[in-house]
Chains A and B, each alone.
Chain A
Amino acid sequence: MGWWMGRSSRAGKRYRRRVLTAITLYVAVLFSCLKLVKAVPLHGIALYAAAALPAIPVVAVLVILARYLQEESDEYLRMLTARSLLFAAGALLATTVVNDFLRVIAHAGALMPFVGFIVFFVSFGIANIVQDMVSSRDSDE
């Protein structure tokens, strides 16, 4: 199960616990903000603040990933995660740069909201799955 929620080391378990907390917070903050914006007519800075609040737990997941890399004492697992993050960053940059050229040259529309977020985390997950499959190959257990 290492592919989506961290690896089985001590640092991986801490990472898993922190990500679950951040996801729970994200769901709670998102629904609270949506309710608030519907119930109270917010304007200006207050509306911007309410709209930006759900992004905080998402950004926190990136910080949690960075902390995992710092805390992971197993150099091989650290390398696998760093490699997956590089793949995800590459996929995200490739997606945005292709869309930028499509917009500038072909007058195509901008990407839908949250596409960057989805591309990054789906690519990260895929990279982890592939690496875990390769890692468990030739194992004697």
Chain B
Amino acid sequence: MNNRLKALRAERGWSQQLLADKLDVSRQSVNAIETARYDPSLPLAFKISRVFGKTIEEIFIDVVPKKAK
């Protein structure tokens, strides 16, 4: 799943560590989510949306696989 975490963080001038502290997770977690190597659970996705004051859909982009023709 793609997301706008890095862009939103950059807009606010936050470091990965600062965002990790706000979310009460490790910096590795923030890095893994930003680079789309890890999709957060629903509770963590809600926490992220609260921290940025946005809806989950505004942060996470669902990539729908194209159907084979």
Contact = CB atoms under 8 A, between A and B. Distances in A.
A138 B28 CA distance: 10
Among B17, B25, B29: residue with most chain A CB under 10 A:
B29
B29 to A, nearest CB: 4
B44 interface: yes
Contacts of A136: 28, 31
A137 B28 CA distance: 9
Interface size class of A (residues with CB under 8 A): 10 to 19
Contacts of A135: 28, 31-32
Contacts of A8: 26
A141 B27 contact: yes
Interface of B: 15-17, 24-29, 31-35, 37-38, 40-41, 44
